[in-house]
């Protein structure tokens, strides 16, 4: 069942991901709390928490990226019991979402350095 959910999640993905964790907070009809944000992209994220809001629930996610904080609205698109839930951000033209996409795009575009490059 978990592999089936993973395949569905991959099929839904349209954006490149940042896999490292970010500090965050989620707020929805079923609750709210501090969390880690992982698997972050311009289109959504994975909220690492024990909470399990309902599929389709409207939620907002506040994400700390570097020295910036973004609060983005979206909806729950997948639950992973004991791990967290996936949020798809609302498609929109608001300024905060546009700036978030710009910042995330620049982080994704940065090449990663190998240990030998950092030493040399």
pLDDT digits (tens, 9 = 90+) for 82-114: 999 999 999 876 788 889 989 988 887 765 544
- Pinpoint the alpha helices (H) of 32-113: 95-109
The reported pLDDT for the residue numbered 117 is 44
What distance in Å separates the CA atoms of residue 61 and residue 95, rounded to the nearest whole number? 16
Instruction: Pick 111 or 120 by higher pLDDT.
Output: 111
The reported pLDDT for the residue numbered 20 is 78
Residues 27 and 71: beta-carbon distance below 8 Å: no
Residue identified by tokens 């639950």 is 79
Residue 49 DSSP label: S
pTM: 0.76
The reported pLDDT for the residue numbered 5 is 46
The reported pLDDT for the residue numbered 1 is 45
Instruction: Pick 31 or 108 by higher pLDDT.
Output: 31
Which CATH number is 2-108 given?
2.40.10.220
């Amino acid at each position: 069942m978990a592999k089936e959910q993973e395949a569905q999640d991959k099929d839904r993905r349209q954006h490149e991901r940042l896999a490292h964790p970010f500090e965050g907070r989620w707020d929805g009809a079923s609750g709210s709390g501090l969390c880690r944000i992982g698997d972050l992209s311009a289109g959504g994220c994975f909220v690492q928490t024990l909470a399990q809001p309902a599929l389709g629930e409207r939620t907002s996610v506040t994400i700390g990226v570097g020295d910036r904080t973004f609060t983005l609205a979206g909806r729950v698109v997948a639950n992973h019991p004991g791990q967290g839930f996936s949020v798809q951000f609302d498609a929109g033209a608001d300024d905060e979402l546009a700036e978030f996409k710009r910042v995330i795009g620049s982080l994704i575009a940065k090449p990663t350095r190998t240990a030998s490059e950092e030493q040399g």
